[in-house]
Structures are given as structure tokens and as C-alpha cells.
Chain A
């Protein structure tokens, strides 16, 4: 029996081959991803051109937030397509087949599709991040470098947790609730800008209920080396990404709970 990693690599290679069957569509899809995140960034540029700054934040700082968040989300977006399909799998009874296989369902779902065209978002985010890094005067001490890497990784885990939650809900609703998109894509939309600019209720929600700010705001403030207008301490900013990881682990537990609750639709 193949070990999980080898199995996953196999899944990826199958998925890549199938996507390469429609090469033109793949290229258009990747470019489209690049465009759709690209126009968002051009919008930010136009707003800074008009207003000069965003409260106390400069364009380069906002670009740094934007870059980190998009890179982390793009990674998740490549892995998580399967969780979008859970509703459909449950409804058609296909999910039973997954349960029969001697491998974890989460692994199988992550392996369902490796959405390569998300490289468009990744490339765009990485480009903006690079530009911001060159422009900003960040003190790259080892701890700051480590925090940056950890933030991106924990960010990707956090977003994966969100997608797993969306899949979990399908066990009860037998439908993929588009409603949840307001959390994933809405969250991404919101974290283009520093969390500090939003209303208090909104900030609280995305820190205490859904700890998105812990991977998209607090650690980045520490990386930028500026004081947080929200008044958090440096220690908290360094520890914050762990809450993203914690959220991911928690969502895996809830997934297990959902699995236990699962009843085949029998169709």
C-alpha cells in the first residue's frame, strides 16, 4: 500500500494530466486568475493615486498585506476544490465510495483536484509581495524571516480549515452552501486592506470568531515593524499565526464529527 504522500503525488499527477487535456482552456484560466486578481490591485493603485494614503497606511504596506494574503490563499485554493464538491458527493451517494477506501477522506478530497490555474493568483500575489518588499525598508532579521514563512503556512492552513468547514456543513445540508463563500472570498476581499481600518464589530468577528486577522493582520504588523493602531503587543503578533493553525486542527475535528453523523442518501 502506498504511503499517503506517494498516493497524494499520484493524485496530483493524474489531476495535472487531465487539466493538460484542454491546454487552451488551462492557459486562459490561469491568465484569467491573473487578470481577476490583477484588476483588484489596479483598483488599489487607483485609490492610492486619488487619496494618497489609507488612514495611516502607505501603498507599499497595503501591497505587502495584499501579497501575503493572496499567496497563502492561492496555495489553499489549489488544494481545496474537492471540499466544494462534498455536497454533490453526498447527494449522489458517491461519498460512500470514499468511505470504503482505506485512506482518510480528507486526503482523498484534497487529492481530488490540484487546481493548477490558481497559479495565476499565486503569481500575481507573489509579484506584488516582491514589489512591496523591495519598496519597504523591512529589517530582515532571522526571526522576521521565520515569522513571514510561518504566517504564509499558517495562513494557508487556516484557509484550508475554512474550506473543510464548508464541506462539513454539507453532511447536514447535503448541499454545498454557497453562503459560506461570504467567509472565504469575503474574507480575502477584506484582508486586502489592514484589519485596523474596519469597524469594531467586523474586526472582532474576524479575530475572535473566525481568527482570520491572526494570519492576515497581526503578524504582518510585526513584520512591517510598526506599532499596531489596535494596540496589540509584539508577543501577541508573533503568536497570532498559531491561532490559524489551531483553527485548522479544530476544523479537522469537526470534520470527523460530521463523518460520524453522515448517513448515506442511498441514491
Chain B
């Protein structure tokens, strides 16, 4: 059993350690995200000043939502795995095919590190600053904290499954970011990063409820602040689980199609 899991955990931890080396990029991202969050918060404050009608979310909740979003921005599947992209372009992806491991699981592990490691580095200091100075609130209750952590783990799996799918599509487009150019802004939007999803019109909520993207940002964030009560946490986790199964199955199928028709670049 151990030798079966070993290659996947090994690639995950190796990649993790490698990405942690890039501290300058982390600091840059950190400052950018603080600026970004501050702008969004000021704009939302202005909108809330414009009306006295009750809203589906309190301003304090919106502020917390924005800062959580900035802290966990890196978890979003906004680009394919850069190493896989380089491999597809140079043709070394052929070596990946001869490794004695399951390729999908292998790529899933490496993409998971690709998503978690940079986020890990910037999210904690950013959250601390936001909690201390920028009006982000602490979790609503110890219970909310536990469910939020569970849902965030679900979000990581969802996001990784999407990242792998984006990476696989590179085998068709070869150059650049491929389909991710098109898909990531939509995911970003539907996950709740542009504006908090509860602020969308009521008719849109039903559609957003079905789609998987709510599970990446919106649902975990609202568990954190108690906007989704802890009693409904299981529904959130179940929704994530179903979509993880679907996306993993689709990714594995797509990869098997891609490797069957793969034309290796260069030499």
C-alpha cells in the first residue's frame, strides 16, 4: 500500500518545497492583493452607503468575504499547471507517459501542490493583517471554523480537479494558456470572486446553486462567517463531493483520450 501511494506524495512534497523558494513573488502577490482587497472593500462600502434597504448580506460579512477571497485567491483554478504546460510545449510530456504510475493521479498530486503551496505562503500573513487592521472578522463559532476547514479542503480538491482538466486541454491547443484563458474568468466570476454570490439577483441563485463553482469560494466563506448555518454544512460538503467525483471522472477520461491521440512536439 505504502509503495503504491509513495510516488504521488513524493511529487506533492517536492513541488511544495520548490514553490516555497519563490519568496519575492509571494511578497509581490501579497502587496497586490492587499491593494486589490482594499479597493473592493471601499467600493462595497460606497454601495452600502447608497441604500438603506436590507441586503442579503451585512457589510461586515461582505468585507470578511472579500478578504477571505484575497487570502485564498491562489486556490482558484485560474491557470493550468505551469510545469505541465512547459512539458507539453517542449515535448517532454512523452516521458510522463512511460512512468510506472497512474498519470491522472500523478498530475493531480502535482497540481494540488501547485495550488496549495503559493496560497499557503501568502494566505496566513494576509489573513492576520486583514483580521487585525482591515475589518475581517473571526470565524462565527468554533463549529463554523471546523466546517470551513472541511469545506476548504473540498474546495482544494475541486479546484485541483479543474486545474488538471485545464492542463490536459493544453494537449490540444499546445501554445499558451489555451482554454484556461476562456474558462478561468468565468470560474473566477461564478465562484464569487468578482462580487459575493448572495448579492446576485435571486433568479441567478438557483443556477449558481447547481454549478460546482460555488463550492470553491462562496460556500466555504459563508460557512466561516455563519452566513450558511452549521446545520447546513453537510449539504455544502455533499455538493462538493458530487462535483469532485464528476470532475475527476471527466478529467481521467479526457486524459485517456488525449494520450491516445498525442502528437509529441519537437525533439
Interface 1/0 per residue, A32-63 and B, CB below 8 Å: 11011011101100110111111100000000
Apart from A25-B178, A178-B29, list 6 A-B contacts with CB within 8 A. A28-B177, A28-B179, A52-B50, A55-B50, A197-B46, A198-B39
Give the B-binding residues of A (Cβ under 8 A): 22, 24-25, 28-29, 31-33, 35-36, 38-40, 42-43, 46-47, 49-55, 175, 177-179, 181-182, 185-186, 189-190, 192-193, 197-199, 202
B174 within 8 A of A: yes
Q: Output the nearest chain B residue to A28 by Cβ-Cβ distance.
A: B181
Residues of B within 8 A of A202 (CB): 38-39, 42
Whether the Cβ atoms of A42 and B178 lie closer than 8 Å is no
Chain B interface mostly helix, strand, loop or mixed?
Answer: helix
Whether the Cβ atoms of B173 and A186 lie closer than 8 Å is no
Task: List which B205-234 residues lie within 8 A (CB) of chain A.
Answer: none
Q: Beyond A186-B32, A186-B36, is A22–B182 a contact (Cβ under 8 Å)?
A: no
Nearest Cβ distance between residue B250 and chain A, in whole angstroms?
20
How many residue pairs, one in A and one in B, have C-beta atoms under 8 Å apart? 118
Whether the Cβ atoms of A39 and B188 lie closer than 8 Å is yes
Residues of B within 8 A of A179 (CB): 27-28, 31-32
Can you list the 8 inter-chain pairs with the closest CB atoms, starting with the nearest?
A32-B181, A178-B28, A36-B185, A39-B189, A197-B46, A43-B194, A22-B175, A182-B35
Interface 1/0 per residue, B230-267 and A, CB below 8 Å: 00000000000000000000000000000000000000
Q: Beyond A39-B194, A197-B43, A199-B42, is A50–B185 a contact (Cβ under 8 Å)?
A: no
B10 within 8 A of A: no
Nearest Cβ distance between residue A185 and chain B, in whole angstroms?
8
Residues of B within 8 A of A42 (CB): 189, 194
A198 to B194, CA, bound (A): 18
Of B179, B182, B201, most buried by chain A (CB within 10 Å of CB) is B182
Q: Beyond A179-B27, A179-B32, is A28–B182 a contact (Cβ under 8 Å)?
A: yes
Whether the Cβ atoms of A29 and B32 lie closer than 8 Å is no
Option from B36, B42, B49, B176 in Cβ contact (under 8 Å) with A29: B176
A49 to B255, CA, bound (A): 42
Nearest Cβ distance between residue A56 and chain B, in whole angstroms?
8
Nearest Cβ distance between residue B16 and chain A, in whole angstroms?
21
B116 within 8 A of A: no
Q: Beyond A32-B182, A55-B49, A182-B31, is A22–B174 a contact (Cβ under 8 Å)?
A: yes
Residues of B within 8 A of A47 (CB): 47, 195, 199
Interface 1/0 per residue, B29-58 and A, CB below 8 Å: 101101110111011001111110001000
Whether the Cβ atoms of B28 and A29 lie closer than 8 Å is no
A179 to B24, CA, bound (A): 9
B20 within 8 A of A: no
Residues of A within 8 A of B49 (CB): 55
Nearest Cβ distance between residue B48 and chain A, in whole angstroms?
8
Residues of A within 8 A of B55 (CB): 50-51
Residues of A within 8 A of B185 (CB): 32, 35-36, 38-39
Nearest Cβ distance between residue A173 and chain B, in whole angstroms?
9
Residues of A within 8 A of B173 (CB): 22, 24-25, 28
Residues of A within 8 A of B1 (CB): none
Whether the Cβ atoms of B179 and A198 lie closer than 8 Å is no
B186 within 8 A of A: yes
Can you name 12 A-B residue pairings with CB atoms under 8 Å? A25-B176, A32-B177, A32-B180, A33-B181, A35-B182, A42-B194, A46-B201, A54-B47, A179-B27, A179-B32, A182-B31, A182-B34
Nearest Cβ distance between residue A81 and chain B, in whole angstroms?
14
Residues of A within 8 A of B182 (CB): 28, 31-32, 35
B6 within 8 A of A: no
Whether the Cβ atoms of B178 and A55 lie closer than 8 Å is no
Q: Output the nearest chain B residue to A117 by Cβ-Cβ distance.
A: B181
Whether the Cβ atoms of A189 and B36 lie closer than 8 Å is yes
A225 to B189, CA, bound (A): 34
Nearest Cβ distance between residue A91 and chain B, in whole angstroms?
13
Whether the Cβ atoms of B195 and A28 lie closer than 8 Å is no
Residues of B within 8 A of A186 (CB): 32, 35-36, 39
